[in-house]
Amino acid sequence: MTGVLVEALTLAAIYAVLTLSLNLQYGLTGLLNFGVSFFFAVGGYAVGVVHFHHWSPWIGIVAAPVAGAIAGILLAIPTKRLDDHYWALMTLGVAALFLAIMNNNPRIAGGDLGTYGILRIEPARLLPILAGVIAVVVVAFERIRRSQFGRVIRVAREDPILLAAIGRDLFRFRLSVLMIGGAVAAVGGVALAYWLTIVAPPVFSLDQTVIVWAMMIVGGRGNNYGSLVGALLLEAIFIGTRFLPDFGGLLTGTDYALLRILIVGASLVLVLMVRREGVVRESKVRYAPLD
């Protein structure tokens, strides 16, 4: 029982890192990134590639956030001239492209079978590490939110043309946000790899992206603490379904997996219809009065 809860809490913490990253990108900057899975796949594959080639695991851990930031650049550059809708669809495609490449090249990290048997970091050790990561990310993102940079990216969210009108380069801010978001999500990907012990294409599917979106929207867009609430809340509901009666064998293992994806879809749609701002509202930043 306690074991199950600790595992669930660990997974919630991993998702919280990913949700925080998406919140910076969408909640604060308004970037519709449907390829979040690309960023955490890059982190996961940093671990996977290193494991597959029997290099020192530290190389993967150190390389992951750097690779995530580079992934942010890779995503930003070809999409530079695109407007919102195209941008959103493009991110989805880039994520699909990355997975297709990993899927089809067994020499990189085992192809479609992926790479197995990564030495598991037990939750008792992983959870404190993740708590530290989350604390650092929350403090940093809160500072960003209150800074001049935070003000500018909120303008980018609300009115990109206004941003251009006041002489700011939209691309530069997008690029910075994607690099920071990519690095943070990649760290989440590393944790996921060490928790699952597997790095394979299905681990980073589009469904994962939708789960992270659901957590961010349910928790409250634009609020960093909301991201934590959303990740905990959805993971709590997931784990709750595990304790449902199985109705005399009516529900099988696959059904529980389906139930999970149904909950994701339903919670996402329901929150958008009933309480669009999510559980925790975005708080206004107060600045000292200007004299």
Partner 1 sequence: MLSRAIIAAVFACELALVALSFNLGYRVIGFANFAHVEFVTVGAFIALTAADYLPLPAAALTGAVVAGLLAVVLNVSIFQKLREASVGTKMIASAGVAVGLRGVVQFVWGVDPRRFAQPTRLFAIDGAQMSLIQSVVIVTAIVSVVVFSLLLKFTRIGRNVRAVADNLTLAEARGVPTGQVLNQVWFISGAMAGLAGVLVGLDTFVRPELGISLLVPMFAAAIVGGAGSPFGAILGAALVSTASTAVVSIDFGEIFGGNSFYLGSEYKSIVAFSVLIMILAIRPSGFFGEQRGRA
Q: Which residues are near partner 1 by CB under 8 A? A: 26, 30, 32, 34, 78, 81-86, 88-90, 92-94, 96-97, 100-101, 103-104, 160-161, 163-164, 170, 206-207, 210, 213-214, 217, 254-255, 258-259, 261-262, 264-269, 272-273, 276
One-letter amino acid at 229 equals V
Tell me whether residue 54 or residue 81 sits nearer to partner 1 (CB atom): 81
CB of 255 to partner 1, least distance (A): 7
Comparing CB distances to partner 1, the nearer of 100 and 236 is 100
Phi-psi region of 111 (alpha: psi -120 to 50; beta: other; left: phi over 0): left
How many whole angstroms separate alpha carbon 255 and alpha carbon 5? 21
- Residue closer to partner 1 by CB (options 106, 240) is 106
**Residue (51 or 174) nearer to partner 1, CB:** 174
Shortest CB 106 distance to partner 1, Å? 11
- At residue 167's C-alpha, the angle toward residues 31 and 184, to 5°, is 30
Based on CB atoms, which residue is closest to partner 1, 76 or 127? 76
Q: Pick between residue 125 and residue 275 the one whose CB is nearest to partner 1.
A: 275
d(CA 42, CA 11): 18
CA 177 and chain centroid, separation: 13
User: Could you tell me if 212 and 262 are in contact, meaning their C-beta atoms sit under 8 angstroms apart?
Assistant: no
Q: Decide whether 129 or 157 has the Cβ nearer to partner 1.
A: 157
As beta bridge partners, residue 115 has 199
* Identity of the residue, 52 or 98, whose beta carbon is nearer to partner 1 in the bound complex: 98
Please answer whether residues 108 and 173 qualify as being in contact, where contact means their C-beta atoms are separated by less than 8 angstroms: no
Q: Minimum distance between the CB of residue 71 and partner 1, rounded to whole angstroms? A: 15
d(CA 92, CA 85): 11
DSSP per position, 17-77: HHHHHHIIIIIIT----TTHHHHHHHHHHHHHHHHHTT--HHHHHHHHHHHHHHHHHHHHT
Q: Please, what is the minimum distance in Å from the beta carbon of residue 261 to partner 1? A: 4
Q: Are 25 and 31 in contact (CB under 8 A)?
A: yes
Burial class of residue 6 in the structure, from the number of CB atoms within 10 Å of its CB (0-12 exposed, 13-18 middle, 19+ buried): middle
- To the nearest whole angstrom, how small is the minimum distance from the Cβ of residue 290 to partner 1? 26
